Amino acid sequence: MERSSNGGSGKPPVTDSKAAWRDGAVTYFHLLFYIAISGGQIFFNKWVLSSKEINFPYPVALTLLHMVFSSVVCFAITKVFKIIKIEEGMTTDIYINSVIPIGAMFAMTLWLGNSAYLYISVAFAQMLKAIMPVAVFLLGAAFGLEEMSYKMLAIMSVISVGVIVASVGEITISWVGVVYQMGGVVAEALRLIFIEIFLKKKGVKLNLISMMYYVSPCSALCLFIPWLFLEKPKMDDSISWNFPPFTLFLNCLCTFILNMSVFLVISRTSALTARVTGVVRDWSVVLLSAAIFADTHLTFINIIGYAIAIAGVVAYNNHKLKVKPQANPQQGDENKVNPGNPRDVEISMNSTKEAS
């Protein structure tokens, strides 16, 4: 005689429900952790560069320290403790012709992005970053990677108008800071273009640790040269700067953890979820910075302009996800990856721009 209609005691469905709830809770924890560590690192860098307590207004030196720390940690993880295996397929030719240009643009992105915090507020910097899809699209079209269409031009126009309105609403504008931030945006757009041209088209796929293992030393070398000529003389002449070792270690560690959180978000969710989470993070940073930093004064025009720009960014993300070719139909529209398998995370999604 059957005790239930499904021939069992009914416990497996309950167990499956608990497992699904637990898995969902872990995923949401990763998303919240990414938002917290990403926004927190932006505030941390701003504080290090502008606070009177530390007095370390040297963005090249700060970014150089991040890259050196990342290089050392990645080497320890892959070569000393051998926790993660480096992806195969990297050759001298690929490194010279592909990784070095990408590393140089990554160094430029972080250098200029951090330099902007010396002149403009965190909130205004985030508003200017919303122009990123426009830079990527225009440069992509110039390199033959994007096709012009009325829909894309309309989306780019919405984003541009939003950023312009947000800029008009800024009470005090430092054009030096704007130039630094826009330079960082262009450098990041070029980095993404170079990834598409130099690596993806060559069939090279790297997980996040492999990417950081190869790129971080190159970026550190690219940053060492400008630091040697631009900031080292100033640091030698100044006796007032101070960077406590513990604060330095904590700042570098947070940057590395942030890069790991990018992998966790992508590996447990999807491209769409990662993009939406980024939008939530940006809004959180804009609003919280107004409460944390004295140089941030949000106006109604700021908020309206940024809202328009973010609406354009959301439309851009939605359009790109719809038109992205499906290499494997089983992956679905969201291009979901296999949790726990770093080999499934393509290099194109491993953006560590948030570390700046």
Name the pLDDT band for 176 (thresholds 50, 70, 90).
very high
Q: Are 302 and 164 in contact (CB under 8 A)?
A: no
pLDDT of residue 349 exceeding 60: no
In our burial notation (b when 16+ CB lie closer than 10 A, e otherwise), range 287-317 reads ebbeeebeebebeeebbebbebbbebbebbb
Name the pLDDT band for 334 (thresholds 50, 70, 90).
very low
pLDDT of residue 228 exceeding 70: yes
Q: What is the residue type of 212?
A: M
Question: What local confidence, expressed as pLDDT, does residue 271 receive?
Answer: 61
Question: What local confidence, expressed as pLDDT, does residue 209 receive?
Answer: 83
pLDDT of residue 335 exceeding 50: no
Q: Are 35 and 288 in contact (CB under 8 A)?
A: no
Average pLDDT, the chain: 83
Q: What is the residue type of 283?
A: W
**Residue 172 or 340, more confident:** 172
What confidence tens digit (pLDDT) does each residue in 112-121 have? Answer: 999 999 999 9
Name the pLDDT band for 36 (thresholds 50, 70, 90).
very high
Name the pLDDT band for 202 (thresholds 50, 70, 90).
confident
Average pLDDT (60-66) is 96
Average pLDDT (64-82) is 94
Name the pLDDT band for 12 (thresholds 50, 70, 90).
low
R_g of the chain computed on alpha carbons:
22
Question: What local confidence, expressed as pLDDT, does residue 345 receive?
Answer: 37
What confidence tens digit (pLDDT) does each residue in 74-96 have? Answer: 999 999 998 888 877 788 888 99
Name the pLDDT band for 264 (thresholds 50, 70, 90).
confident
Quote the CA–CA distance of 149 and 127 in Å, as a whole number: 25
Quote the CA–CA distance of 277 and 306 in Å, as a whole number: 17
pLDDT of residue 167 exceeding 70: yes
Name the pLDDT band for 270 (thresholds 50, 70, 90).
low
Quote the CA–CA distance of 222 and 215 in Å, as a whole number: 11
pLDDT of residue 67 exceeding 80: yes
Quote the CA–CA distance of 136 and 187 in Å, as a whole number: 10
Quote the CA–CA distance of 113 and 28 in Å, as a whole number: 29
Q: What is the residue type of 74?
A: C
DSSP letter at 86 equals P
Among 2-16, 90-104, 221-235, 292-306, which is the least confidently predicted range? 2-16
Report the length, in residues, of the chain. 356
Question: What local confidence, expressed as pLDDT, does residue 272 receive?
Answer: 63
What confidence tens digit (pLDDT) does each residue in 281-330 have? Answer: 888 999 898 888 877 788 899 999 999 999 999 898 888 877 754 444 44
Q: Provide the percentage of residues in the chain whose pLDDT is more than 70.
A: 85
Q: Is 257 helix (H, G, I), strand (E, B) or coil?
A: helix
**Residue 328 or 240, more confident:** 240
pLDDT of residue 204 exceeding 90: no
DSSP letter at 160 equals H
Q: Are 248 and 58 in contact (CB under 8 A)?
A: no
Average pLDDT (137-162) is 91
pLDDT of residue 2 exceeding 60: no
pLDDT of residue 3 exceeding 60: no
Name the pLDDT band for 172 (thresholds 50, 70, 90).
confident
Phi-psi region of 274 (alpha: psi -120 to 50; beta: other; left: phi over 0): alpha
Question: What local confidence, expressed as pLDDT, does residue 166 receive?
Answer: 92
